[in-house]
Structure 1
């Protein structure tokens, strides 16, 4: 049963990561901001390999920031 819930969480995180990448790619923001958001997505992707629940929480925060128009400063 535990394995099934982990697989479901993995599938959910993977689908949301795909959605987040699409949203970031389509944003009308300076390239530096897009790069900063892409780095955040890479961190979430890397975290998913080691701690899926942490990655899901990080992704929730990132998606909320995107929804609310809060973007990191670009270099």
Structure 2
């Protein structure tokens, strides 16, 4: 029984990750922001191998941020010219 729920969660996280990658690619944001979001998605993907429920929570937060237009700052806008 527990295995079935674990498989469902894996499927859900995999589907959400696929959607998140698609959404990040389609965003009209500076390349530095897109790269930061892609790194977050890669970190979530890696963490799913060890902590699936934690990865699902992180992915939910990221998707909420995308929905609300909250993006990381462009690292290229800070620093010296």
Deviations 1:7-54 (A, max 9, x none): 000000000000000000000000000000001001100110000000
Q: Secondary structure at the match of 1:22?
A: helix
- 1:74 Cα deviation from its structure 2 partner: 1.6
> Greater CA radius of gyration, 1 or 2?
2
Which of the two has greater helix per residue? 1
Corresponding residue number in structure 2 for 1:31: 31
TM-score (norm: length of structure 2): 0.91
Aligned length: 75
The answer to whether the aligner puts 1:42 opposite 2:6 as a matched pair is no
Corresponding residue number in structure 2 for 1:74: 74
TM-score (norm: length of structure 1): 0.99
Segments ≥4 residues shifted beyond 6 Å: none
Corresponding residue number in structure 2 for 1:3: 3
